[in-house]
Amino acid sequence: MQEVNIQDLINRCVKYFQKNCYTRNRIYKYKSLWRTGIIRYMSELNIESYSPDVGADFISTCLFNGTIRPQEREKIRSVQVLDDMLLLGRIRKRCLAPVYHVLDGAVGQEMEKLITHLANLRRSETTIKGYRLYLSEFLTHLNTSGVKSVREIADKHILTFVSSHPTNKVSVVSALRVLFHFWKEGLIP
């Protein structure tokens, strides 16, 4: 297994970025992702040399109930860049398959009405994707709790979901607030 000093590997990546005309902002973003991601992780565990196994262990900390959150996706990509540089000597272009979060079942159908409403209000695609993600995660939580209809949702379901959410609680609460306000306005089944 190849191992290397993490800072040496990062320097190689930065040189590659510069040679291949990456913008200063993108290079700065990667440096920030490495500093707050893999470097912090390695420092906390007193790991001195980077290897793909260390990267894989770090990536496993970026998952939430088997799903990857948007803010964690970039940290994962930053580790993939390190692995590419270490193993291939170059950085592959990424090919992403879009993720679609399904809102199914009785509660999911009611959530889908909010998504349609937001689209009709001409909210940005990014905003709608964020809402769909958080509502999908909330729906999974409700399904796990045995909730089958909107009227069965209780404060405890909301509180346990928000408190167990590892990141971006403000956005999660905002999405739920909009959802419940939408339902309160008379659209509850």
Q: Of 66, 137, 64, 147, whose CA–CA distance to 105 is shortest?
A: 147
Which residues make Cβ contacts (< 8 Å) with residue 27, sequence separation at least 6? 14, 17, 18
103-154: pLDDT as tens digits: 889 999 999 999 999 999 999 888 898 899 899 999 999 999 999 999 999 9
Q: Where are the domains of the chain?
A: 4-88, 105-187
Backbone torsions φ then ψ of 132, nearest 5 degrees: -60, -40
Per-residue model confidence (pLDDT) at position 189: 47
Each residue's pLDDT tens digit, 153-183? 999 999 999 988 777 788 889 999 999 999 9
- On whether the 105-187 domain is CATH 3.30.390, my answer is no
